[in-house]
Structure 1
Amino acid sequence: MAHRNRGYIDVDSLQQELIADGDIVERIASFYNVSLPELHKTQNETRLACIFACGKEQETGDRAISIKIKQDGAVFRCFQYGCTVRGNLLNLMYLMKHNSEPADGKLKGRDFKEIAADLQALVAGRPPEKNVGTVSTSQSSTTESMNDKSPLINIPLKDSENERARELINLNEQFITDVAEMSPQAAAYVRKRPFMTPEIMKKFHCGYLPSNAKGLLRGHFVYGYPDADGNVLTWFGRNLNYEDQHKKWQRSGDSSKEPHKFKFVKGFHRGQELYGEPQFHGLATPEQLQQIGIILVEGPNDVINLHTLGIPALAVCSNTVTESQADKLATLANSIPGGHVSVMFDLDREGENGAKQTVMELAKRCRVRLAWSIDFADGRFKGRQPESVTVEDWDTAILPTLMHVS
């Protein structure tokens, strides 16, 4: 008997057969053991909330994804703002199986053969074949069972079972750190942040990934996210058009499609990590931490700027803290005599609300205080972020207050 992967598979006929049978969304999900949210069906379309790890920071609306089931190939698209997930039935199957898009967003070569074989098995009523090594253990599957209480773990790229993930280890070799060679948007982004020198970018494994590079983060300003030992766990990108997109979103009044500032690689469990650990441990001294506490900020630029001022800081890469992050911070704080966490989130409405949640969560575990607030220093810092803090700001206002509080 000839091996199936050497035989011709009539993909077009199989797709039409599957579409004719009906309930294709449910059948594909059942085939890959994927749990679906509520489906909203009409005669020609199925709508559902986005179930894919596409970098979104919160749940989408319950009709974000549209699947046109009567068109050739069953065309689908996600209408979540900034999302590019779309394609035909084969692309949908790949997403259901891997919770990520194929390389370069195109289904070809080995990936195409794999899904074509799955399509053949699906139509024939057979279970999918196991493809060893095609799914990274570091990816969060859409089928992460709610009954599975094992902790989520991020695996360093170098140790991933996924060959594609391992190939991303040296993504920073493609980064541009010279503003003269960046796109206008990237150059403007860097020039607004004087602390972002080529030397600092190299130290923090960040830089501009040009639009002609490979990968989903091309055209973004990209940051490496290392673990405490300095091993890169993932890469994430800053949307360089975020400010313009956010203004348009505010004018539109559409609360369901707020643009995202950062885009994370699919499957990364952000809430399990603290950004900036290697640099923090390399800079901090016990005496310094006793005086000012563990400075906790929102984003990577906050960490980087404070680092250039000689101030060790960690970031949650959000405006709230998770239980896992709070546990890690408390363990570190409680290991230092008189140790505590000083929360220094952005001084806007979201940052203030997030700081309150973070202080309450940390207070259950260790000593905690606010490093600043909107009313701090007669409102001098209202609307500011830690990435904008200068040496004068720190020495004349923030540091004396931190050292004065017992």
Structure 2
Amino acid sequence: MLQKKRGYIDVDTLQRELVAAGDVVERIASFYNVPLPELHKTQNETRMACIFACGKDQETGDRTISLKTKQDGAVFRCFQYGCTVRGNLLNLMFLMKHDREPVGGKLKGAEFKEIATDLKAIVEGHSREPAAEEPSTDELPQSISDESPLENIPIKDSENERARELVHLDERFVTDVAEMSPKAAAYVRQRPYMIPEVMQQFRCGYLPHDAGSLLRGHFVYGYPDAEENILTWFGRNLNYEAQYKKWQRSGDSSKEPHKFKFVKGFHRGQELFGEPQFHELATREQMQQTGIILVEGPNDVINLHTLGIPALAVCSNTITETQADKLATLANQIPGGHVSVMFDLDQEGENGAKQTVLELAKRCCVRLAWTANHAKGNFKGRQPESVTSEDWNTAILPALMHVS
């Protein structure tokens, strides 16, 4: 009997085990941290939109890719005209990981060994090892500093040439809703302030599936520092609402979907979103009267900016010590300076606002800009991105300027 070589991986058996365990597509996508469109399942087949940059020139239907989940090797193919992806489970894994087909169209050599190792890890229930990742063509700089391991560096200063090429990723963005995918267009239309000129100013927009980026299919935002240098790009999951409802129904607390996708290595807790636009718009008088308006997310900043209201965001519903230090430094530079916390008026936002106020109170003057009881409860459940000029001028601003 021949002895198997050391390190031998029985790929055929592993494929059968993964297929037999069910949820093939979800498990592979979760391993590679790839957001999935809506899945349509039958007993023997899973269908979904094509998510690969593979030659198609437009968004596909939501059942274009067919995966035979009960067949050995999980044979799949895309039926979109101009799309070329097809193959077995290993090919699907390679596409999920690299968004391209293997060299020569077939997995062999180092590429085969790489995917076989990943397959073994998935079947055994292991997480993907970051050190084993092949650098993406859209790799963004890791935060490297001998003095501060949590320091973010601008993309333009990255030691990685492919990362430096992403300084102008926004040149690939679509800002015309007529040219966006249906979900992206719906996302923008629900936000009247998100017009092309504003998207260009904030360096955000829809990144099509065929853009060849790890953020493809997302609505993508640039995250600049105070000097307008892009530190990273991050994407809004356009399938989040549907995924969140499905997650709530499943009762699986371990796999809550993410609303935003940040590139590994970026430390968002070290930064405040919207600094360039804030410093452009904010005046000493305004900061004395209303305080530094602090919100949760990028859309809150963008909407308030279009209303002439400078704001900064923590890109979370809690604040870090570093962010609190930065805000306190800014507030304490002027007499009467303070921070006005304006988080979402849902349960998570209100809980986060309490933590944020307590953290800031150690460093500077702070108050809540609004609460669920504000204006007779008219703002309960609202977010700053939904605030109108009338809301601000008739209800929020007078309360902020009132001196008790």
- 2:140–2:163 contact (8 Å) kept in structure 1: no
1:5-38 CA deviation, whole Å, 9 max, x = no partner? xxxxxxxxxx952247xxxxxxxxxxxxxxxxxx
Describe the shift of the 1:394–1:355 C-alpha distance in structure 2 as closer, same or farther (beyond 3 A): same
CA–CA separation in structure 1 for the residues paired with 2:110 and 2:265:
24
| 1:215 paired residue number | 213
| 2:87 paired residue number | none
Match for residue 181 of structure 1 among 158, 179, 182: 179
Match for residue 138 of structure 1 among 137, 141, 165: 141
CA–CA separation in structure 2 for the residues paired with 1:285 and 1:330:
16
CA–CA separation in structure 1 for the residues paired with 2:33 and 2:6:
21
| 1:365 paired residue number | 363
- 1:136–1:161 contact (8 Å) kept in structure 2: no
Match for residue 314 of structure 2 among 313, 316, 330: 316
Describe the shift of the 1:275–1:208 C-alpha distance in structure 2 as closer, same or farther (beyond 3 A): same
CA–CA separation in structure 2 for the residues paired with 1:81 and 1:294:
44
Describe the shift of the 1:164–1:276 C-alpha distance in structure 2 as closer, same or farther (beyond 3 A): same
CA–CA separation in structure 2 for the residues paired with 1:348 and 1:80:
32
Match for residue 104 of structure 1 among 72, 94, 99: 99
CA–CA separation in structure 2 for the residues paired with 1:107 and 1:317:
37
| 1:286 paired residue number | 284
Instruction: Give the TM-score taking structure 2 as reference length.
Output: 0.70
Describe the shift of the 1:333–1:82 C-alpha distance in structure 2 as closer, same or farther (beyond 3 A): farther
| 1:339 paired residue number | 337
Match for residue 156 of structure 2 among 155, 158, 163: 158
1:365-385 CA deviation, whole Å, 9 max, x = no partner? 111100001111111100000
Opposite residue 17 of structure 1, the aligned amino acid is R
Identical aligned residues as a percent? 71
| 1:234 paired residue number | 232
| 2:241 paired residue number | 243
CA–CA separation in structure 1 for the residues paired with 2:179 and 2:403:
46
Q: How do 1:388-399 and structure 2 match up within 5 A? A: 388-399=386-397
CA–CA separation in structure 2 for the residues paired with 1:71 and 1:113:
18
CA–CA separation in structure 2 for the residues paired with 1:80 and 1:385:
34
- 1:103–1:215 contact (8 Å) kept in structure 2: no
Question: Does residue 85 of the first structure (1) align with residue 55 of the second (2)?
Answer: no
CA–CA separation in structure 2 for the residues paired with 1:137 and 1:247:
31
Question: Does residue 17 of the first structure (1) align with residue 2 of the second (2)?
Answer: no
CA–CA separation in structure 2 for the residues paired with 1:135 and 1:198:
24
Give unpaired runs (5+ residues) of structure 1.
1-14, 21-43, 45-67, 92-100, 118-127
Report the alpha carbon displacement of residue 220 of structure 1 after superposing the two structures with TM: 0.4
Q: Which runs of 4+ in 1 moved over 4 A?
A: 77-82, 105-109, 112-117, 134-137
CA–CA separation in structure 1 for the residues paired with 2:171 and 2:233:
13
Question: Does residue 271 of the first structure (1) align with residue 261 of the second (2)?
Answer: no
Aligned length: 322
Report the alpha carbon displacement of residue 86 of structure 1 after superposing the two structures with TM: 8.0
Report the alpha carbon displacement of residue 108 of structure 1 after superposing the two structures with TM: 6.2
Report the alpha carbon displacement of residue 252 of structure 1 after superposing the two structures with TM: 1.1
CA–CA separation in structure 2 for the residues paired with 1:138 and 1:325:
21
| 2:347 paired residue number | 349
Instruction: Give the TM-score taking structure 1 as reference length.
Output: 0.70
Q: Considering only aligned residues, what root-mean-square deviation do their CA atoms show, in Å?
A: 4.0
